[in-house]
Amino acid sequence: MAYELEFEKPLVELRKKISELKEFTKHRDVDFSDEINKLEARLEKLENDIYANLGPWDRVQIARHPNRPTTLDYIERLFTNFFECHGDRCFGDDEAIVGGIAKYYGLPVTVIGHQRGKDTKENIRRNFGMPHPEGYRKALRLMKQAEKFGRPIICFIDTKGAYPGKAAEERGQSEAIARNLFEMAGLTVPVVCIVIGEGGSGGALALGVGNYVHMLENSTYSVISPEGAAAILWKDASLAKKAAETMKITAKDLKQLGIIDEVIPEVRGGAHRNVDEQAKYIDDVLKRSLRELLPLHAEQLIAQRYEKYKKIGDFIDSEQHVSVM
């Protein structure tokens, strides 16, 4: 059964009417071709109007769509010879993060990403895409291995956030995230990060320090979820829509703020509508990013990464009252 988003209900109703008329025409000796053509034209116009004017909360819903492509979906379509590696060599294997070695147009690369499930059973196994510290330590192990053998690193970001449970905190959740931030900043190989769904808090940032950070058009990237922000600001999580509109969490907003480098377009209606086509859009940007980064030597890659993050944000000099970018 198709999953309906709130803003898509008018489209669903119209598609249902068209389907009913087609069935009626097929089984009865009545021709509704003119009516069907009119409704299909109306559907086309309505789709264009709705998808061309999506608000921040609409994009949050698309980013959370249960059928939205995951890291493994893109790995299957973008890479060959993927060999998944498991475990952090300290505690265990966290299935909320997948990673391994693959080939990208014949080039050996290391691919790492958050992985959520497609159904309840898999979501429980993947902890709903919320990693424990051993997941981040697994990711870091693979990054250092990639650095040792000179392989570019590609990270797919898709998590509500790091798992906030008691056991995760006892095993050093905050330290694991901080360690990843520190180590990723100094990696001597190209790092390309792509937000493919939700990019939530430090759980996302722990895979997000790269030479290039790109986002799918309907993804989100934020320090806290809209519900969490609403609960803190207005003591009411039901005001999440209002929070989403003020937080600047969409790809377009973050591109304007200089947080990300490029917005990757999505197929109309969201990446879940056509995963193969969406993978091609990602492929174009990934290919171009690596083409620009591969000629750089280690010191240049580190310097480029440093300059990128140094430029983020504005501040006011209290004495000179000058805004500096």
Residue-wise pLDDT for 116-170, tens only, equals: 998 999 999 999 999 999 999 999 999 999 999 999 999 999 999 999 999 999 9
Mean pLDDT (the chain) is 91
Residue 318: predicted pLDDT: 66
Q: Quickly state the pLDDT bin for 26 (edges 50, 70, 90).
A: confident
DSSP for residue 102 = E
Residue 325: predicted pLDDT: 47
Using an 8 Å Cβ cutoff, are 114 and 157 in contact?
Answer: yes
Q: Which of 40-49, 158-167, 179-188 has the least mean pLDDT?
A: 40-49
Domain residue limits, the chain: 6-53, 61-311
Percent of the chain past pLDDT 70, that is, above it, reads: 96
Domain 61-311 belongs to what architecture? Alpha-Beta Complex (3.90)
Contacts of 73 (CB under 8 A, 6+ apart): 275, 279
What is the residue-wise DSSP string for 255-324? HHHTS-SEEEP--TT-GGG-HHHHHHHHHHHHHHHHHHHTTS-HHHHHHHHHHHHHTSS-EE-TTT--EE
Phi-psi region of 106 (alpha: psi -120 to 50; beta: other; left: phi over 0): left
pLDDT tens readout for residues 225-253: 899 899 999 999 889 999 999 999 999 99
Q: Quickly state the pLDDT bin for 263 (edges 50, 70, 90).
A: very high
Token pair 């990060």 in the structure block, residue: 193
Residue 197: predicted pLDDT: 95
Residue 17: predicted pLDDT: 84
Q: Quickly state the pLDDT bin for 320 (edges 50, 70, 90).
A: low
pTM over 0.85: yes
pLDDT tens readout for residues 280-301: 999 999 999 999 999 999 999 9
Residue 47: predicted pLDDT: 82
Residue 1: predicted pLDDT: 46
Q: Quickly state the pLDDT bin for 92 (edges 50, 70, 90).
A: very high
Count of residues for the chain?
Answer: 325
Percent of the chain past pLDDT 90, that is, above it, reads: 74
Q: Which two tokens stand for residue 86?
A: 């498991």
Degrees, nearest 5: CA angle 158-162-163: 120
Nearest residue to 112 via CA among 250, 224, 209, 221: 209
